[in-house]
Amino acid sequence: MIYENNFCYIKSHESNIPWLEIHAKDEYKELSNDYETSLKIFKLAMFIEQIMIEFYNPIKINHASFANYLPKAHWHVMARFSDDGFYPECMWGKQQNELKNYRTNFNEFCSILAQKLSEFELGI
For the chain, the structural domain boundaries read 3-119
pLDDT digits (tens, 9 = 90+) for 54-76: 999 999 999 998 766 666 788 99
Give residue 69's pLDDT.
66
Tell the CATH topology of 3-119: HIT family, subunit A (3.30.428)
CA distance 102 to 115: 21
User: Going edge to edge, which strands form the sheet with 19-24?
Assistant: 3-4, 8-12, 19-24, 74-80, 60-64
- Tell me the mean pLDDT in the region 41-49: 95
Give residue 68's pLDDT.
66
How does residue 30 score in pLDDT terms, banded at 50, 70 and 90?
Answer: confident
- Tell me the β-bridge partners of 8: 24
- Tell me the mean pLDDT in the region 49-56: 97
Sign of CA dihedral 66, 72, 75, 78: negative
- Tell me the mean pLDDT in the region 88-104: 93
Give residue 115's pLDDT.
93
